[in-house]
């Protein structure tokens, strides 16, 4: 309850910030994208992870304001990097179901892109399979976003309850293989089979594919052997502040 009241004031008090986790191309270890992950720098409790406050935001409706702040800040930071000679990479932003269903999502995102000057091709929205349950509704939203030039990725892929049928109907650009399939992949033949099948399916469907939660070289080697082009995980980098991303991943300027 206390946290809820404090969260209401967190935006105006500038207590929210974004960390960025690099997405790495296995072929040449280049950073080819970043996922924006929100943090709350709480005055007493320190840096809080989204798992602690995003559920509160979703229950109370604060997710709209927080989500708007996240989108603006992610687009602003990308534009700043692009202008400053940083790599021309996209940013992925996680969307809650409520945001996904908010009226005129495309118009709202178009405003943010216009205000920040970021080209739509550099914004990727992460949605989950559970948001695809109503195929007709999600098709309408996704087609509009896609026609505007925004990329769509399916987060936590493989953990939802939806059918695979929507993959052929919807303009999905990228599958993000959930970390739960990666954790034991060096020992578990089922995980290995599932992951290699998802990668092959993505290729057949002409979608990009990224594996999440790579922590070790052995895991990376299995993904590389199965032709997964991109990975995200602690093995290459934890989520970092913008300054730390620049220091660790930008070419010297």
Give Dmax over CA atoms of the chain in angstroms: 50
Contacts of 216 (CB under 8 A, 6+ apart): 186, 235
- Which stretch, 76-84, 102-110, 133-141, 212-220, contacts ligand G (CB under 6 A)? 212-220
- Does position 160 interact with Na ion (CB under 5 A)? The reply is no
Range 65-87 burial, b when 16+ CB lie within 10 A, else e = bbbbbbbbbbbbbbbebbeeebe
208 binds, among Mn ion, Na ion, ligand G, none (CB under 5 to 8 A by kind): none
Among 50, 87, 158, 160, binds ligand G (CB under 6 A): 50
Question: Could you tell me the two tokens for 152?
Answer: 């769509």
Q: Using the rule CB under 5 A, give the single segment among 43-51, 62-70, 148-156, 165-173 that binds Na ion.
A: 148-156
By CB under 6 A, residue 51 contacts ligand G: yes
Measured from the CB atom, the residue of 120 and 213 that comes closer to Mn ion is 213
For residues 93 and 36, the answer to whether their CB atoms sit within 8 Å is: yes
- Whether 145 and 152 have beta carbons less than 8 Å apart is answered as yes
Is 155 a binding residue for ligand G by CB under 6 A? The answer is yes
The answer to the question of residue 49 lying near ligand G (CB under 6 A) is yes
Question: Restricting to residues 77-116, which ones interact with ligand G according to CB under 6 A?
Answer: 94-96
Interaction between residue 155 and Na ion (CB under 5 A)? yes
Determine whether 216 is exposed, middle or buried from the number of CB atoms within 10 Å of its CB (0-12, 13-18, 19+).
middle
Residue 70 interacting partner from ligand G, Mn ion, Na ion, none (CB closer than 5 to 8 Å by kind):
ligand G
CA distances from 69 to 2, 62, 246 (A): 22, 11, 22
Name the residues that contact ligand G, by CB under 6 A: 21, 37-38, 49-51, 54, 67, 70, 94-96, 155-156, 179, 212-215, 232-234, 239
Name the residues that contact Mn ion, by CB under 5 A: 94, 126, 155
């Amino acid at each position: 309850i206390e946290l809820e009241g404090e969260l209401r004031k967190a935006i105006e008090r500038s207590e929210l910030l974004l960390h960025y986790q690099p997405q790495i191309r296995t072929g040449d270890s280049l950073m080819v994208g970043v996922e924006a992950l929100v943090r709350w720098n709480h005055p007493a409790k320190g840096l809080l992870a989204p798992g602690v406050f995003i559920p509160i935001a979703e229950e109370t409706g604060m997710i709209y304001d927080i989500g708007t702040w996240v989108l603006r800040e992610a687009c602003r930071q990308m534009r700043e990097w692009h202008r400053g000679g940083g790599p021309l990479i996209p940013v992925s932003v996680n969307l809650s179901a409520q945001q996904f269903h908010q009226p005129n999502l495309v118009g709202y995102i178009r405003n943010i892109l216009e205000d920040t000057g970021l080209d739509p091709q550099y914004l990727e929205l992460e949605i989950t399979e559970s948001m695809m349950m109503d195929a007709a509704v999600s098709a309408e939203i996704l087609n509009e976003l896609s026609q505007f030039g925004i990329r769509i990725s399916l987060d936590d892929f493989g953990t939802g309850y939806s059918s695979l049928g929507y993959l052929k109907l919807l303009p999905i650009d990228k599958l993000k293989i959930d970390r739960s399939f990666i954790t034991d992949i060096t020992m578990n033949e089922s995980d290995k089979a599932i992951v290699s099948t998802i990668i092959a399916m993505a290729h057949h469907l002409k979608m990009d594919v990224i594996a999440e939660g790579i922590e070790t070289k052995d895991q990376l080697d299995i993904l590389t052997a199965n032709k997964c082009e991109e990975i995200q995980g602690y093995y290459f980098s934890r989520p970092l502040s913008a300054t730390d991303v620049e220091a660790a991943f930008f070419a010297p300027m």
